Amino acid sequence: MTLRSVILGTGSALPRRRMTNAELATMVDTSDEWIVGRTGIRERYIAGEGETTATLATDAARRALDMAGLAASEIDLIILATATPDQTFPASATIVQAALGIDDCIAFDVAAVCSGFLYGVTVADNMLRGGAAKTALVIGAETFSRILDWEDRTTCVLFGDGAGAIVLRAEESDQASGRGILASRLHADGRYNNLLNVDGGPSTTGTVGKVRMKGQDVFRHAVVNLAAVMGEVLEASGIASDDVDWVVPHQANARILDATARKLGLAPERVVVTVDRHANTSAASVPLALDTAVRDGRIQPGHIVILEAMGGGFTWGASILRY
């Protein structure tokens, strides 16, 4: 037996308001045909009044706790991955903690943009196996709509808002066949900061800034880096790509999902795709897609699942687990 972090529950939350490509075409010079053809995105959800990163994160966390059958008081670690916190400080994780009525636990945000959930999962897994905590909520939540330049058609059509959460618990697991996270790998290369960033911040302009991206350059790096890091977790876990049941990728662009799966020789029907419905929700996209595939019955206990993401920094990472 070995101590592993096991997913006990998943949950997600979307804002009330759905925005189609047709609606976007009334705002900037774009078309449904261009957006679907280049990205696979058909619609996204946009936060409205009273909906924030922390409220969406709290809703997703409650659903994950419900599925796990756990009371919030059993949580002793909250890691919230976001690039769009409610406030510069305190960490939105503490807002979620208060909303869930948890008196005392470890709570902090991680900032790794679209890879944030993978960073959060990896940190939580190490803290759980190291004994710093027993039961964690790892959440990815974003309201990117609030940092988009709604006049820039090269970015505003790509992103959406939402949240996803998992409950992870440290449990003794059979070495060969037990559930839990088997391996994770994280990377960052800050030389590429300028290809995907916001043009502001508290310590520079004193504003939050707007999203800027050189899409084609990001695309090229994404396919190479994601295929490489997925190869690393396969090798570290000793699992062959043929034995992977599901890949739950960061949902940036349907063409990136296809190209990455092809590079690894994974069948496209093994890739969970939600980019058509959610667009790119940054740190929320992996847990949103995971919750979708768990709740519709595709991902079953015992399945081998790879989670992967790449985003601003650049940062990228992957985890492989037995669900």
Could you say which of 105, 114, 253, 278 is catalytic?
Answer: 114
Comparing CB distances to ligand UT7, the nearer of 53 and 58 is 53
Q: In angstroms, rounded to a whole number, what is the distance separating the alpha carbons of residues 169 and 138?
A: 11
Comparing CB distances to ligand UT7, the nearer of 237 and 253 is 253
Name which position in 17, 32, 38, 74 contacts ligand UT7 (CB under 6 A).
38
CB 147 within 8 A of CB 208: yes
Which range of residues in 80-88, 126-134, 213-221, 240-248 is near ligand UT7 by CB under 6 A? 213-221
Q: Is residue 252 close enough to count as binding ligand UT7 by CB under 6 A? A: yes
Binding residues for ligand UT7, total number by CB under 6 A: 20
Q: Is residue 280 close enough to count as binding ligand UT7 by CB under 6 A? A: yes
Q: Is residue 275 close enough to count as binding ligand UT7 by CB under 6 A? A: no
Which range of residues in 7-15, 90-98, 161-169, 250-258 is near ligand UT7 by CB under 6 A? 250-258
Cβ 230 to ligand UT7 shortest distance, Å? 15
For residue 128, the tally of other CB atoms under 10 A from its CB is 25
Comparing CB distances to ligand UT7, the nearer of 97 and 285 is 285
Q: Tokens 């449990």 sit at which residue?
A: 171
Q: Tokens 């820039």 sit at which residue?
A: 152
Which of 53, 55, 97 has its CA nearest to residue 72?
97
CB 197 within 8 A of CB 24: no
Q: Is residue 32 close enough to count as binding ligand UT7 by CB under 6 A? A: no
Q: Is residue 82 close enough to count as binding ligand UT7 by CB under 6 A? A: no
Looking only at Cα atoms, what is the longest distance across the chain?
Answer: 58
Name which position in 98, 129, 149, 219 contacts ligand UT7 (CB under 6 A).
219
Q: Is residue 114 close enough to count as binding ligand UT7 by CB under 6 A? A: yes
The angle at the Cα of 274, spanning 86 to 262, to the nearest 5 degrees, equals 125
Site string for ligand UT7, 118-137 (x = CB under 6 A): --------------------
Could you say which of 156, 250, 253, 278 is catalytic?
Answer: 250
Under DSSP, is residue 261 helix (H, G, I), strand (E, B) or coil? helix
Q: Tokens 């409950």 sit at which residue?
A: 167
Q: Is residue 157 close enough to count as binding ligand UT7 by CB under 6 A? A: yes
Comparing CB distances to ligand UT7, the nearer of 30 and 70 is 30
**Residue type, position 116, single letter:** G
3-state helix, strand, coil in the chain (%, to 5): 40, 30, 30
Q: Is residue 288 close enough to count as binding ligand UT7 by CB under 6 A? A: no
Comparing CB distances to ligand UT7, the nearer of 38 and 295 is 38
- Assess whether 280 carries a catalytic annotation: yes
CB 43 within 8 A of CB 24: no
Comparing CB distances to ligand UT7, the nearer of 32 and 74 is 32
Name beta bridge partners: 11. Answer: 165
Q: Tokens 């994601």 sit at which residue?
A: 226
Token pair, residue 87, equals 């406030």
Q: Is residue 261 close enough to count as binding ligand UT7 by CB under 6 A? A: no
**Residue type, position 210, single letter:** K
CB 138 within 8 A of CB 109: no
- Assess whether 250 carries a catalytic annotation: yes
Q: Is residue 311 close enough to count as binding ligand UT7 by CB under 6 A? A: yes
Which of 56, 79, 70, 215 has its CA nearest to residue 146?
56
Residues annotated as catalytic (active site), given as ranges: 114, 250, 280
Residue numbers of the site for ligand UT7 (CB under 6 A)?
30, 34, 38-39, 114, 153-154, 157-158, 215-216, 218-219, 222, 252-253, 256, 280, 310-311
